[in-house]
Structure 1
């Protein structure tokens, strides 16, 4: 049986992959560079909100469409890891930008999207909340990076070692049979 994710899921998957990789590099640049910090912050905020919007859209499409089945010969442990890691990915794609927005709100910093658009603060200014959310945002970023690397490793495992249809189910090339 040939099975693929819905075209909207595939488009959102790859668009978000690009946005998340960009965001991880921008975030790393922000904490390691003094000279480029301002323009990186100016990019980081709207990109974070874009990721949040895309994640919400992706979740809505994901909940309203069928997903291809995992290969019948895939061990139960691998199936559970796949399902749990996808839940974590969705959770982090939503949590990261929300925690960032909350953190900036608590710090009294505006979330600007460019063109004079400024999002409302989610909470009142609070130095103690800011001090709590700042390291949480970093922890979530490192967690997302590790999870994305694990996701990529699993995709390569399916594509190069198992040679099943899992990797092709999220791509745009020729579809492969699932079993």
Structure 2
């Protein structure tokens, strides 16, 4: 996604900047970075207009030093999976402190994340989010990794080029 992107998901760059990242946006691509000495900050965010990114946001929020509250997304319980309940249940397997609220999620930081086998519930967005978590938490296993073929068949290849940062 670059400056000319038409997808609403491009707004996620601003979300990551608000959390403490820096962004370099060119016409054709975007590079997101965060200095190791700059902690990721939790935020309160209405994601109703970028609801497909809730699983990714929840995974990123597990790495923040303050809580993150996602609102405006109660309707995603009826996507390919229950994207609130299933996401919370799976992340809880890793030791994440995640609470399903009426219209979203509350993710409270913890230093106790650990590996786990995570089920995708036949949802490509959950599968991709769990893959991202595997970059920073050892021993994350994504059951049914082929589920990503619905939207990004080469996802795992793209993820392989990102250097893992283990805590």
For CA contacts below 8 A with separation 6 or more, give which structure has more relative contact order.
Answer: 1
Which TM bucket (shorter chain)? under 0.3
Q: Which protein is bigger by CA-based radius of gyration? A: 1
TM-score in terms of structure 2 length:
0.26
Please state which structure has a larger fraction of its residues in strand. Answer: 2
TM-score in terms of structure 1 length:
0.25
